[in-house]
Amino acid sequence: MLRLTLLYVFLRILPEEFLVIFAVHVFSKTVINVKKYIISSIFFIIAVYLIRLLPIQYGIHTIIAVVVVIVLTININKISIIKSIQASIMTIILEFVCEGANVFIIQYIFKADVRYVLNDPSLKILYGIPSLLIFAAIVSMYYVYLVKNKKLKEVIDGEII
């Protein structure tokens, strides 16, 4: 079970999970229906919170969260199953790469002890901001690229138009 503070939920989980659902839309190249996006994001935030409370080993919660993202984006956002799976996996891989870059930044640029940082909830939030910003920047740049090149597709009733 992971320790979760209210501050961590609002400053890390909330923006990160909204960003994950956004990234799945971007990587699946589907236009965002704002109402469905917000509904699926809220369900995902609740699911991630509950998953992190489970007494399971670290890492297993990520696999469960990927399954939840896939189910939500298929059922609520009507993204096809193949695109949802591909986009979810791409999103999680990108998130892991950003976290890895962040650990590098913490260790070699900030010269901080990673174990100490990850054990202190306040420091974990503070030092986690760069990975979230890197992740958001990459997804946003790709979204802007797709919009400029008109590569986003509308999804109506599970069919791509």
Residue 143 maps to a domain: yes
For residue 63, is it within any domain? yes
Domain containing 19 equals 6-89+135-150
Cβ neighbours for 79, distance < 8 A, ≥ 6 positions apart: 24, 25, 28, 30, 73, 87, 155
In a domain, 57, yes or no: yes
Q: Which residues pair with 156 in a beta bridge?
A: 159
pLDDT tens string 92-118: 999 999 999 999 999 998 898 989 988
E strand intervals along 23-157: 155-156
pLDDT band at 68; cut points 50, 70, 90:
very high
- Tell me, yes or no, whether 99 lies in a domain: no
| Model pTM score | 0.91
* Residue with tokens 């609520």, as numbered in its chain: 76
Looking at the 3D structure of the chain, how many domains does it have? 1
The H or E element containing residue 90 is helix 81-104
- Domain assignment present for residue 115? The answer is no
Instruction: Classify residue 69: in a domain, yes or no.
Output: yes
Question: Does a structural domain hold residue 106?
Answer: no
